[in-house]
Structure 1
Amino acid sequence: MHPSPAERTASAGLRDRKKLKTRDALCHAALDLFGSRGFEGATLDDIAAAADVSKRTVLRYFTGKQDILLAVFREMAALTVRELERRPAEEAPLTALREATRHALCEVGRALPEYRGTPTCLAVLQLVATTPGMLVSLHHVLLVHQDAPAKILAARERIEDPADPRPQLLVSVHAVAMTVAVRSWQASGAHDLDTILDTVDMCLDNLSSAIAGRWSVAAPA
């Protein structure tokens, strides 16, 4: 006797929940080990053992340790694109992009499980900011996912010339601002989502003066 459509749906839902539970367990095990041993000191075998699964299971979900740590930012990039498509047409490109990013970070912070009383995304941000080389990897992830938002921004502004650099330039500069914001947030000693959102805004607010202005109050005219 074949299962009914309802039974197949329920079975698929159960599999998805089990996969999500395993993925969360792997992320938490990795965070524990990265926190206690450092990123370099923890191995995939260690993570598998801590989560009570095989190394093969870990590799079904992630390509490696860095992939585990940066998975949250790939999810955030996808949410940013989804939200950018919904932003009001009257918003300027930078406003639309920064609001979409803010929404995505809030959504990731709410959707992911708590890690020791802190949203998992914030624990990951702390690790990324304090692990040598990981900020470069974060910046790479942000740049890899820049084509989709750039295309959406170009369409919003009715830019048809593929050689127009502004959409890619804005998304690239925004990625740099995000990376700087993470480093500034960590250096400030803050540990909350509101502060990192404010720090991102501060970095974006200073883009214009950083690029085109003079920085010294006493700078000659």
Structure 2
Amino acid sequence: METLRERKKQRTRDALLRTAVEMFVARGYDGTTVDDIADAVDVSARTFFRYFAGKEEAALALQELAVAHYLRAVRERPAEEAPVVALRRAVLESWDTLHEVVESVVPVEAYLGMHRVIESTPVLLAAHLRRNAETEDTIARVVAEREGLDVDADPRPRLAVAVFGAVMRVTEQQWSACGDLSLEGMRALTIAYLEQVGPALAGNWRTD
């Protein structure tokens, strides 16, 4: 059972994260300092660093929650599903239930707003892409385990996840650049782009 002390620590962390996200979205990452965040929560900067290594960790914390949520969805897909089908259904399921995870800390709109902040901030984008590569490695290992394969000997899990990850990256970029920053907009774009994978890889693109 969670103790009173643990609940208080979680409330403080959530308050710092919520405030950081709100400030990053409103002011930009570079326009927000650790002192700004700590002052708004009425704690010291030292307290902030008890929960986060720095601004970057706070800025990417919601994405970490979403990734963990997606990984759970992948692991819980039925064993009889083909790998790419499992990945597709897991990402749509995780979008449909994302509010259950994120809204314990911030409104979904704030989480979605952070995507644009990340895309427009080079240091955050670099960290985000690095973490994406780590996530793809984890997913490839999950897929290999599902299929009874050796991920280091059989290239198929990594290839499938690499293609899938590239589609999701393009989706993020296009969604962040468009005017519809809604969860429904992201979900619709995800479906549309995933449906293009087969035709894009196997089809003839020329119109003449």
- For residue 4 of structure 1, what is the aligned residue in structure 2? none
Report whether the alignment pairs 1:193 with 2:170. Answer: no
Name the TM-score, length of structure 1 as normaliser. Answer: 0.81
Deviation at 1:138, TM superposition (A): 2.2
Report whether the alignment pairs 1:18 with 2:8. Answer: yes
Report whether the alignment pairs 1:31 with 2:21. Answer: yes
- 1:26-78: CA deviations, max 9, x gaps? 12221232233321121112211122111122112212212112112222222
Q: Structure 2: how far apart are the matches of 1:214 and 1:134?
A: 37
Q: Which amino acid aligns with 1:82?
A: R
Q: RMSD value over aligned CA atoms?
A: 2.4
Q: Structure 2: how far apart are the matches of 1:36 and 1:15?
A: 32
Question: Greater Rg, structure 1 or structure 2?
Answer: 1
> Secondary structure in 2 aligned to 1:215?
coil
- 1:108-165: CA deviations, max 9, x gaps? 3233238886443212223223334533432221211223321221122222363211
> Secondary structure in 1 aligned to 2:97?
helix
Q: Which amino acid aligns with 2:124?
A: M
Query: Which is worse superposed, 54-63 or 204-213?
Result: 204-213
Work out whether residues 140 and 151 of structure 2, in 8 Å CA contact, stay in contact via their aligned partners in 1. Answer: no
- For residue 112 of structure 2, what is the aligned residue in structure 1? 122
Q: Which has the higher contact order (CA 8 A, sep 6+)?
A: 2
Q: Structure 1: how far apart are the matches of 2:177 and 2:151?
A: 41
% of aligned pairs identical?
A: 36
- For residue 128 of structure 2, what is the aligned residue in structure 1? 138
- For residue 104 of structure 1, what is the aligned residue in structure 2? 94
Q: Structure 1: how far apart are the matches of 2:120 and 2:107?
A: 20
Structure 2: gaps of 5 or more residues: none
Equivalent residue runs for 1:141-180 within 5 Å: 141-160=131-150, 162-180=152-170
Name the TM-score, length of structure 2 as normaliser. Answer: 0.85
> Secondary structure in 2 aligned to 1:146?
helix
Q: Structure 2: how far apart are the matches of 1:174 and 1:24?
A: 32
Structure 1: gaps of 5 or more residues: 1-8
The counterpart of 2:48, out of the listed 39, 51, 58, is 58
